[in-house]
Amino acid sequence: MAKNLVIVESPAKAKTIEGYLGKDFVVKSSFGHVRDLPIKGDKAIDIANDFAPTYVVSADKTKVISELKSLAKSSEEVWLATDDDREGEAISWHLKEALGLKDNAKRIVFREITKPAILQAITQPRTIDMDLVNAQQARRIMDRLIGFELSPVLWSKVQKGLSAGRVQSVAVRLIVEREREIENHEAVATFKVVAHFDLPGKKVLKAELSKAFAKENDALDFLKKCVGAAFSIKSLETKPAKKSPAPPFTTSTLQQEASRKLGFAVATTMSVAQKLYESGRITYMRTDSTMLSQEARDKAKAEIESAYGAKFHHSRQFKTKSESAQEAHEAIRPTDFANHSITGDAREKRLYELIWKRAIASQMADALIERTTALIDI
């Protein structure tokens, strides 16, 4: 039996990590959460006792817990290696409680599944962060209280099968309020005048009048005055300009861009990103940070200078706008910038390419462009 038991939440993740750690380690999966509030009865949350929750081992996890308990007893050390976020921290805490581990059980975290990251995590264990655990518990308790209390009201007052929730109910209200604003909006029409001038060499110059007309008749009157007029370019001004790259992806910006460019639904994006993370291709895909580690920026620099030249590199550290963002975390990026593409199914290839381009571009020099303004005289 191996000396060390490492517990993660995903079987795919377990297989990859076990290959990095060697024969002294066995890596097993909890297959997600192992305990939850009981579904039936009113004993799940003791509201009078500071909302104290009662947890039970999920019915489908009884066998998993039994196997993990047996392995934990025969191992010299147990390492809790679930995801580095609130849910992951809660899973580690529930595992500690369900397996009867000591309070100082070793907790390790990593943001990418690569051999260097895993080996470094083993050298820097910590204890379970109860602040993160309590944050997750508060979320779970709120979900239960709001969902269980309000959903039956919807069934009796509106329609059977509807559900209420901590997030979804607020989101529905925002949508309804926005829809009412749209319905009540009084549109004000304006009329623009756009001209296409045929130039020598079959070129076309598109020009737009600097002002818009409030009435259609005014626009038509102006067009009538233009009939037969002689047009000339009064002045031509060219100014240099720069365009800076966007920051690397957060979870939300990845979902938005994958929808816009690839046509992926949110669930598809997260499912494919999960596979890329578990196979060691990208960093953890649930993040609200736009920051890159110094090591990542150095690797990006080396790849940019090697592939494109030193003049195309410009190191940047983007500051995360969200006040609640966890700055210790990184944005979504490739684990190896040298891999411009990967093997895998078509969706994995496309999403990886999107992530790689966005991350590498964030460390490149501004695009140099020219803006030319032509003033046309009648």
Catalytic positions: 284
Helix (H) or strand (E) holding 56, with range, is: strand 56-57
Taking the C-alpha atoms of residue 328 and residue 292, their distance in angstroms, rounded to an integer, is: 10
Contact 299, 315 (CB under 8 A): no
DSSP annotation of 53 reads: E
| Integer angstrom CA distances of residue 135 from 93, 129, 142, 292 | 12, 10, 11, 25
Taking the C-alpha atoms of residue 132 and residue 90, their distance in angstroms, rounded to an integer, is: 7
Residue with tokens 């990095």: 20
Angle at 345 between CA 340 and CA 346, to 5 degrees: 70
Beta bridge partners of 112: 283
Helix (H) or strand (E) holding 374, with range, is: strand 367-377
Q: DSSP per residue over 102-122, as a string?
A: -TT-EE---SB-SHHHHHHHH
β-bridge pairing 25-29 and 4-8: parallel
Taking the C-alpha atoms of residue 101 and residue 94, their distance in angstroms, rounded to an integer, is: 10
Contact 25, 47 (CB under 8 A): no
Residue with tokens 């005055």: 225
Instruction: Compute, in degrees rounded to 10, the torsion defined by CA atoms 167, 168, 172, 175.
Output: 70
